[in-house]
Amino acid sequence: MTLDALGWTPALEAAFRAHADAGLQPARIAVAYGATFRVVGVDRDELADVAGRLRHDARNRRDLPAVGDWVALKPTTIKGGRSTIHAVLPRKSVFSRKVAGEETIEQIVATNVDTAFLVTSLDRDFNLRRLERYLAMTWESGARPVILLNKADLDDQVASRRAETDRVALGVPVHVVSARANTGLDSLAPYLQTGQTIAMLGSSGVGKSALINRLLGEERLATREVRESDHRGRHTTTHRELVPLPGGALLIDTPGMRELQLWSADAGLTEAFDDIATIAANCYFGDCLHDTEPRCAVKAAVAEGALAADRLESFHKLQREQANLERRQDALAQQAEKKRVKAIHRSVRKHIQTKGNS
């Protein structure tokens, strides 16, 4: 594949010049296998490891390669050996979330995505509140969201579900599709242009693998039926992978997310809940929290039926999660800084003692 077909841009070309002078070559991360990566480029499809210097200088996981990244690569000269990744080029978009569970750690889902297909299913797992989370994450990432309402063949309320989605999507394109019946997929063609990168995101059981198989034109990915008891699926995809599509676009398949906790989404929340932000401009207090404050335009809109009460509650819930996460992030940053200062003091004392003994 050519670099252009892999999504290479003039901005990347400019950012890579210094690395080219150092004899490095551009490549893109296709798969992450823990600390090892599969990279693709011009006449290149191979395994690569991160250079020790890059790993040492990384402040956190965000500084290390992720699926979708463009990297500066030193090819191996040893037969059967692995190339070495020396740098990660600037990203135009970053999808990240908090890892599942109690740990306060960022997980990079995908990078350099142009369009995110947010897949939800038109069955009992249809969930507007979850969709709002995906929209906030996508707007925060820098990519553009597109909603796919899958399994249209299993639902007799398509029109009403589509209308409900439109009310929270706020101008985001919505496409009703069915991977099983192979309907509605032609409408996705404008997003699948050569060099464009698409991320397929959604919870387990919404039919992402079936959709990808349709886009690929072959049954390459395994699919599983959802449980009849609760319409929940099991993870079919187990890792993120950059997959070329026949029409020239590139698609990043991601494992289903049972739990989506946002990492940083201030701008994403504002964009995803733009209707609330617009109404809030008429609140009496400029810093109104739309809670107990008097003369709140947002609460008035709920009382009048112009804004759904559950949408405002969803907004408040995500805000509370963000505030709690930020407090935990700040606490961890303070702990890390204390450890860093202590390490410096220990190093200085050791140097003074060594110098005094010499």
Q: Residue 340 — very low, low, confident or very high, per pLDDT cuts 50/70/90?
A: low
Tally of domains in the chain: 3
User: Can you tell me the mean pLDDT for 251-275?
Assistant: 77
Does 233 have pLDDT greater than 50? Answer: no
Measure the CA–CA gap between 246 and 212, rounded to whole angstroms.
11
Q: Is residue 48 domain-shared with residue 191, that is, in the same domain? A: no
349 pLDDT above the threshold of 60: yes
In a domain, 265, yes or no: no
pLDDT tens per residue, range 65-102? 999 999 999 998 887 789 999 999 999 999 887 665 56
- Residue-level pLDDT at 231: 45
Q: What is the CATH number of the domain that holds 54?
A: 2.40.50.140
C-alpha–C-alpha distance, residues 41 and 39, integer Å? 7
Q: How many residues in the chain?
A: 358
- pLDDT at residue 178 is higher than 90: yes
- The answer to whether residues 165 and 179 belong to one domain is yes
How confident is the model at residue 175, as a pLDDT?
A: 97
Three-class DSSP category at 149: strand
Q: Determine which of 62-66, 190-194, 227-231 has the lowest per-residue pLDDT on average.
A: 227-231
Which of 260, 290, 319 terminates a domain? The answer is: 260
Q: According to DSSP H, which parts of 170-308 are helical?
A: 208-216, 266-272, 274-280, 297-304
pLDDT at 227: 45
Give the residue, 154 or 89, on which the prediction is more confident.
89
Instruction: Calculate what percentage of the chain has a pLDDT beyond 90.
Output: 61
- Same domain? 157 vs 287: no
Q: Tokens 């589509």 correspond to what residue?
A: 162
In a domain, 268, yes or no: no
Whether 191 is in a domain gets the answer: yes
Q: What is the pLDDT of residues 190-225, one digit of tens each?
A: 999 999 999 999 988 899 989 999 999 877 655 555
Residues contacting residue 127 through CB under 8 Å, at least 6 positions apart:
120
Domain boundary among 35, 63, 88: 88
Average confidence score pLDDT of the chain: 86
Say if 15 falls within a structural domain: yes
Give the domain extent around 117.
Answer: 94-260
**Together in a domain, 158 and 210:** yes
Confidence of residue 334 (pLDDT cuts 50, 70, 90): low
- 35 and 55 belong to one structural domain: yes
Q: What is the pLDDT of residue 346?
A: 74
Given a contact cutoff of 8 angstroms between Cβ atoms, the answer to whether 105 and 60 are in contact is: no
Same domain, 281 and 253: no
CATH of the domain at 126: 3.40.50.300
The enclosing domain of 305 has a CATH number of 1.10.40.50
Calculate the alpha carbon distances from 6 to 169, 199, 289, 331 in Å. Answer: 30, 14, 45, 40
Q: Are residues 108 and 84 in the same domain?
A: no
Does residue 225 fall inside a structural domain? Answer: yes
Confidence of residue 230 (pLDDT cuts 50, 70, 90): very low
pLDDT band at residue 17, thresholds of 50, 70 and 90? very high
Q: Is residue 52 part of a domain?
A: yes
Does residue 136 share a domain with residue 196? yes
Q: What is the per-residue pLDDT for 1? A: 80
> What pLDDT, on the 0 to 100 scale, is given for residue 220?
66
Is residue 102 located within the same domain as residue 244?
yes
Task: Confirm whether 280 is domain-assigned.
Answer: yes
The verdict on 177 and 52 lying in the same domain is: no
Task: Measure the CA–CA gap between 251 and 97, rounded to whole angstroms.
Answer: 19
Query: DSSP per residue over 287-342, as a string?
Result: T--SSS-SS-HHHHHHHHTSS-HHHHHHHHHHHHHHHHHHHHHHHHHHHHHHHHHH
Residue 100 has what pLDDT?
A: 59
Q: What are the helix (H) ranges across the chain?
A: 10-21, 52-57, 128-141, 158-169, 208-216, 266-272, 274-280, 297-304, 309-357
Residue at a domain's end among 235, 260, 285: 260
Q: What is the pLDDT of residues 274-324, one digit of tens each?
A: 999 999 999 999 999 999 999 999 999 999 999 999 999 999 999 888 888
Contact 150, 182 (CB under 8 A): no
Residue bearing the bigger pLDDT, 333 or 50: 50
Domain shared by 242 and 124, yes or no: yes
Residue 266 belongs to some domain of the structure: no
* pLDDT surpassing 60 at residue 234: no
